[in-house]
Structure 1
Amino acid sequence: MTLAAHKILIIGGGFSGMSAAIELRKRGAEVDLVELDADWRNYGAGISLGGATLRAFDQLGILDDYLREGSAADGVALHLPDGTPIGLLPTPRVARPDVPGGGAILRPVLARILANATRASGTQVRLGTTFTEIRQDEEGVEIDFTDGKRQRYDLVIGADGLYSKTREAIFPDAPKPRYTGQAVWRAVLPRPQAVKTATMWMGRVKPGVNPVSATQMYLFVTEHRPVNERVDPQDFPTLLRGLLADFPDPLLQGIRDQIGADSQIVFRPLEGLLVPQPWHRGRVVLIGDTVHATTPHLASGACIGIEDALVLADELASTDALDTALRAFQARRWERCRMVVENSFRLGEIEMANGSKEEHAGIMRASLMALAQPI
């Protein structure tokens, strides 16, 4: 089998890095993955996923595991603050005809599914380890690791997230993450029978819920926070309940009443990043949040990172010329990733300014249709 790089190192064990490991092992590559966190944890509550993400899961071979442990449904139900329905945003079925067009799952559960698949693929996983130095020449890349080892690879993939150490080493002048002026709250709560699919309320803030299993859902709320400042976790329940006070819908008020100290509340200021091309230098290439971290307005940040992994493996298997493969990878990914990052930012701007709901809905529909197209 043609493969432009046979011995590959992946730096970072998040969704993108694990997906790259799984797919590259299918193509016959020898893959090492290093992850700084010795416990390989994934923090967070739920994660909403569109049909394009479920399609990527199908290619990776984890879709059935996802469907067993997560939730899938069609459409996003939109409501006024009092609960009046105002529409159903369609979510195309792009994974398989029998698989709904969207869904959600708890982040730690998805991380476990991917970690199990990564180990089962034959990837050599080393936890509590990262690099200290990268040196490359025309023939390969030599890596010094924090555990004292030194190894040589044909290709290094940086998938170590928004504050990537790999990006700093390879592209020291790349843009830095920037705060968008919004924050998102998430919490895990019991799932009322009335919540069948992703549901959102249009108001001063944008709350929503999405089932993550047969018995649980997660709540998400975006709010305008002009200053990125620390919030005391002890105040999380009170502040989150306060954001929902102006929504008289009995369903949402019932959800509000359930928020407490045991609701696994996560507060995250929203930051983003879009690194201009190139995304590779020599034999080191960057994928996922390392080069295109997005806000959650299109529920597609994980999607485009996982797609990066699939496309990179595809291009590496299409030629024995590494530079050709990496340039083809960038060409296929740029426009799609740019669209997600910039459209997500624009949706946030509209929300903060209480702007045009028609523009907001139009961007959502156009983006979801674009994501349904093949990668």
Structure 2
Amino acid sequence: MSPARTVLIVGGGVSGNALAVLLRRAGVGVDLVELSPDGNVQGSGITLQGNALRVLREVGVWEEVRRAGFGFDTLGLIAPDGTVLHVAEDIRTGGPDLPATMGMGRPDLQRALAGAARAGGARVRLGCTVQSLEQDGDGVDVRLTDGTAARYDLVVAADGLGSPTRALIGIDDRPEPTGMGIWRVTAPRPAGVERTDLAYGGPAFIAGYCPTGEDSLYAYLVEPKRDRAELPPASYAEEMRRLAAGYGGAWKEIAASITDSSRINYTWFHRLLVEGPWHRGRVVLVGDAAHACPPTLAQGAAMSLEDALVLAELLTARADWDGELFAAYRERRMPRVRMVVENSVQLGRWLMDGVRDADVPGLIGRTMAVLSERP
């Protein structure tokens, strides 16, 4: 493969930055554009399963992630009053030398990946994105919103759930709400909280928290989605405290710390799975631009990272960057991604429908067994 090849990555999130690192390592020229002026360094916390950590290690940021986050190997199921009902050993989907789960601040993960992309030689521009593109059999002519233009051998749409690039190339799939909304907040970590604990039932469908560092965690409450126009951002702290008040144990301390509405994030759960080809000519989708699911299995970032790993592997191993390569990428990813999307949605549907005898442990166990295999 000629080292003169160039790729434009649209979107500087998890998949975009990981792909930039892997392609630069192989000598590919990489430009990365990110619409957010601050480089998308925002959000509360993130839960990373072992299969995500496996990719982060291959990208070269595992040690930074390990230092910034909090690893653990068990999952607690608790009653709304805080009583521990069961503690399960998590499957180490990334292999025996990585934790089953790592919690960390989402901004910390973003900084690690963005720093690695820049250190690897990716040319990064913030505050701009694709305005238009025209392609032929050999490349893509791109005009950016900052007025510059260039030609690339490949354009990768890593610009998220609402991907403008996906729409620009005529892929009409759009994300659909699943019926749930989630409140997220960062908070001090109460003494004794050393794993994720989940309570099903109470004022919300799910009340959970995940340690993200020596002194921090992020907490979340999942409920039926609401009209966001009726939720003034200034009311977020009061509303989340109201929901949290229905839970005991560590939630008492967590709820008391929820005072700053600007630190709270409220979003809906969405489902997306592009059923047709994930490319048009020399423009290809990765991550949330191709698929997204509720975080009920904590696999969103993992699937995006695996996309980047598989696409980079194919691009650096094959001489021809053509439709056959992009079809092979989709065919390799689709069964795994479909399983995660459908199972994540199913877990949420059981909760919304009030199914009491659902085989939640079985579904999770079967999914994690598959994810233990390399993508």
Q: Which amino acid aligns with 2:160?
A: G
Say whether the 8 Å CA contact 2:45–2:218 is kept in structure 1.
Answer: yes
Alpha-carbon spacing, 1:230–1:125, altered in 2? closer, same or farther (3 Å): farther
CA distance in 2, matches of 1:10, 1:232: 35
2:340 maps to 340
Alpha-carbon spacing, 1:4–1:85, altered in 2? closer, same or farther (3 Å): farther
Does residue 48 of structure 1 match 2:47? Answer: yes
Which of 252-261 and 232-241 deviates more? 252-261
Does residue 151 of structure 1 match 2:146? Answer: no
Which of 93-102 and 208-217 deviates more? 93-102
**Unmatched 5+ stretches in structure 2:** none
Alpha-carbon spacing, 1:251–1:145, altered in 2? closer, same or farther (3 Å): closer
Q: Which amino acid aligns with 1:241?
A: R
1:289 maps to 288
Query: Tell me, what secondary structure is at the counterpart of 1:317?
Result: helix
CA RMSD of aligned residues (A): 1.8
Q: Percent identity?
A: 38
Does residue 189 of structure 1 match 2:191? Answer: no
CA distance in 2, matches of 1:231, 1:163: 22
- Listed as ranges, the matches of 1:196-235 within 5 Å are 196-204=194-202, 205=204, 206-225=206-225, 227=227, 229-235=229-235
1:253 maps to 252
Q: CA-to-partner distance for each residue in 1:151-196, whole Å, 9 max, x for gaps?
A: 1111110011111111001124x22211111101111111112101
Say whether the 8 Å CA contact 1:5–1:322 is kept in structure 2.
Answer: no
CA distance in 2, matches of 1:66, 1:53: 11
Give TM-score scaled by structure 1 length: 0.94
Query: Tell me, what secondary structure is at the counterpart of 1:168?
Result: helix
- Listed as ranges, the matches of 1:1-375 within 5 Å are 2=1, 6-172=5-171, 174-204=172-202, 205=204, 206-225=206-225, 227=227, 229-247=229-247, 249-261=248-260, 264-323=263-322, 324-375=324-375
CA distance in 2, matches of 1:365, 1:80: 21
Query: Tell me, what secondary structure is at the counterpart of 2:67?
Result: helix
Q: CA deviation at 1:49?
A: 1.0
**Unmatched 5+ stretches in structure 1:** none
Q: CA deviation at 1:38?
A: 2.1
Q: Which amino acid aligns with 2:299?
A: S
Say whether the 8 Å CA contact 2:9–2:30 is kept in structure 1.
Answer: yes
CA distance in 2, matches of 1:118, 1:217: 27
Say whether the 8 Å CA contact 2:49–2:93 is kept in structure 1.
Answer: no
Q: CA deviation at 1:207?
A: 0.6
CA distance in 2, matches of 1:266, 1:286: 27
Q: CA deviation at 1:357?
A: 4.9
The number of aligned residues is 372
Query: Tell me, what secondary structure is at the counterpart of 2:121?
Result: coil
Give TM-score scaled by structure 2 length: 0.94
Q: CA deviation at 1:96?
A: 4.8
Q: CA-to-partner distance for each residue in 1:330-374, whole Å, 9 max, x for gaps?
A: 111001111111111111111112213532232222222222221
CA distance in 1, matches of 2:180, 2:228: 8
CA distance in 1, matches of 2:229, 2:250: 31
